[in-house]
């Protein structure tokens, strides 16, 4: 009788957080990420001791550091995946602002560690690369702006996101960091396409990127040297690409054996940019195909779950993060087999690198948060409703 007069109390969600998180989580994606991290530790045991010996550290110095950074990355992934999309968006905006300010101050307080590009802050005990933390925050902010532009009387979010993308890309090019700039442009282009951008605009942007590449080739000796090395018919066997190509060829189907590879003694970046060459030489094509399969499962599973999502912001942000994750892996492996020019980009969750691991953990945590099952009708229900 009381309910008839005053109305029933709203039902409260009393399910504990952890069981609810586990029930709604995409366990395939999380399992693949854990396996990729395990592969990274395995390859670190093979690739990093020569560098540790050269720098006067303990034999497994870099492996231990990778385990510590990886633990922090997995913790960030788990914590982020438990958040609601709204909380993820709020924290991503704050993180983006902090990373963007850090990126602006790099020319004054950053260092290049002798690599010809000022991309890091040196903290003494470690280094931080702001562009790694900028990427997931940027994806979420750009998706938020695009989603807002589709609302009635909404702001010109697509234009604002475009201006923000161009600004960040120019800052990255000035470091120079052409790889991260291309990754930012690609992820934004994917989201803009999903949001309903006209093909003419996307083609125009591709033309601008090509023109920008030609200008960079003529203006930057660093950029021109990498392009010339990629286009050359012959590979210098004493270069990083030469060592990596030879290692992949020597590995064959089953590899030369655990610990028997030689490329790790020749490549200064064997534990980072060219980690896939170590995998191919010591474990062969079998492990490389397994690594590719793990990345493919993460991308395909996430995209399939996002296709059923009704919320525009979640669909755009999730797609942008997945595209960035998959393309970064493709670029790293493409460089090792000489399908792409050298970019200086890590293999997510496999390569050594604190900033890359932790930022990757945050990005995957966002993907897991966006792809969790929620009590909503699927987007197909709306389409079928309109068809009737």
Under a CB-based contact definition with an 8 Å cutoff, are residues 276 and 288 in contact? yes
Q: Using 50 as the pLDDT threshold, list the residues of the chain that sit under it.
A: 1-6, 8-12, 383
Under a CB-based contact definition with an 8 Å cutoff, are residues 170 and 216 in contact? no
- Rounded distance between C-alpha atoms, residue 130 and residue 234, angstroms: 36
Q: What is the pLDDT of residue 296?
A: 97
- Nearest one of 124, 53, 136 to 92, comparing CA atoms: 136
- Nearest one of 319, 299, 81, 296 to 190, comparing CA atoms: 319
Burial of 6 (0-12, 13-18, 19+ CB in 10 A): exposed
The CB-side HSE value for 80 (13 A sphere, CA atoms) comes to 28
Residue 359 dihedral angles phi and psi, to the nearest 5°: -65, -35
pLDDT tens column, 12-30: 456 788 888 889 999 999 9
Q: What is the pLDDT of residue 9?
A: 47
In sign, the C-alpha dihedral spanning 338, 339, 343, 347 is negative
Under a CB-based contact definition with an 8 Å cutoff, are residues 278 and 43 in contact? yes
In sign, the C-alpha dihedral spanning 305, 310, 313, 319 is positive
- Rounded distance between C-alpha atoms, residue 323 and residue 182, angstroms: 12
- Rounded distance between C-alpha atoms, residue 178 and residue 220, angstroms: 11
Helix (H, G, I), strand (E, B) or coil at 120: strand
Under a CB-based contact definition with an 8 Å cutoff, are residues 353 and 128 in contact? no
Count, residues in the chain: 388
- Rounded distance between C-alpha atoms, residue 62 and residue 235, angstroms: 30
Q: Which residues of 179-201 are buried (b: 16+ CB within 10 A; e: fewer)?
A: bbbbbbbbbbbbbbebbebeeee
Q: Which residues pair with 128 in a beta bridge?
A: 121
Contacts of 371 (CB under 8 A, 6+ apart): 26, 29, 301, 302, 305, 306, 309, 318
Q: What is the pLDDT of residue 233?
A: 63
């Amino acid at each position: 009788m009381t309910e008839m007069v005053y109305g029933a109390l709203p039902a409260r969600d009393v399910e504990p957080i952890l069981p609810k998180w586990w029930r709604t989580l995409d366990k395939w994606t999380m399992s693949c990420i854990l396996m990729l991290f395990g592969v990274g530790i395995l390859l670190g045991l093979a690739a990093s001791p020569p560098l540790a010996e050269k720098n006067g550290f303990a034999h497994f110095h870099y492996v231990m550091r990778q385990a510590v950074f990886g633990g922090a990355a997995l913790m960030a992934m788990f914590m982020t995946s438990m958040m609601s999309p709204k909380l993820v968006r709020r924290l991503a905006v704050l993180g983006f602002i902090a990373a963007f300010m850090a990126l602006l101050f790099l020319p004054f307080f950053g260092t290049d560690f002798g690599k010809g590009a000022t991309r890091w802050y040196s903290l003494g005990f470690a280094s931080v690369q702001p562009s790694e933390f900028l990427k997931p925050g940027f994806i979420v902010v750009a998706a938020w702006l695009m989603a807002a532009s589709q609302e009635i009387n909404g702001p010109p979010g697509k234009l604002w996101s475009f201006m923000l993308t161009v600004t960040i890309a120019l800052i990255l090019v000035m470091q120079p960091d052409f790889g991260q700039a291309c990754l930012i442009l690609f992820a934004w282009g994917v989201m803009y396409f999903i949001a309903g951008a006209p093909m003419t605009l996307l083609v125009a942007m591709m033309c601008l990127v090509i023109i920008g590449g030609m200008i960079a080739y003529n203006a930057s000796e660093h950029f021109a040297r990498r392009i010339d090395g990629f286009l050359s018919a012959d590979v210098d066997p004493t270069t990083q690409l030469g060592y990596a190509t030879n290692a992949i060829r020597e590995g064959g189907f089953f590899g030369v054996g655990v610990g028997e590879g030689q490329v790790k003694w020749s490549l200064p970046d064997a534990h980072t940019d060219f980690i896939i060459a170590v995998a191919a030489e010591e474990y062969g094509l079998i492990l490389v195909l397994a690594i590719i399969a793990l990345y493919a499962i993460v991308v395909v599973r996430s995209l399939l779950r996002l296709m059923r999502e009704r919320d525009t912001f979640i669909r755009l942000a999730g797609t942008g993060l997945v595209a960035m994750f998959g393309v970064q892996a493709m670029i790293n492996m493409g460089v090792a087999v000489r399908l792409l020019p050298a970019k200086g980009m890590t293999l997510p969750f496999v390569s050594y690198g604190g900033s890359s691991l932790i930022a990757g953990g945050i990005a995957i945590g966002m993907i897991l948060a966006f792809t969790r099952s929620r009590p909503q009708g699927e987007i197909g229900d709306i389409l079928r409703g309109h068809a009737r």
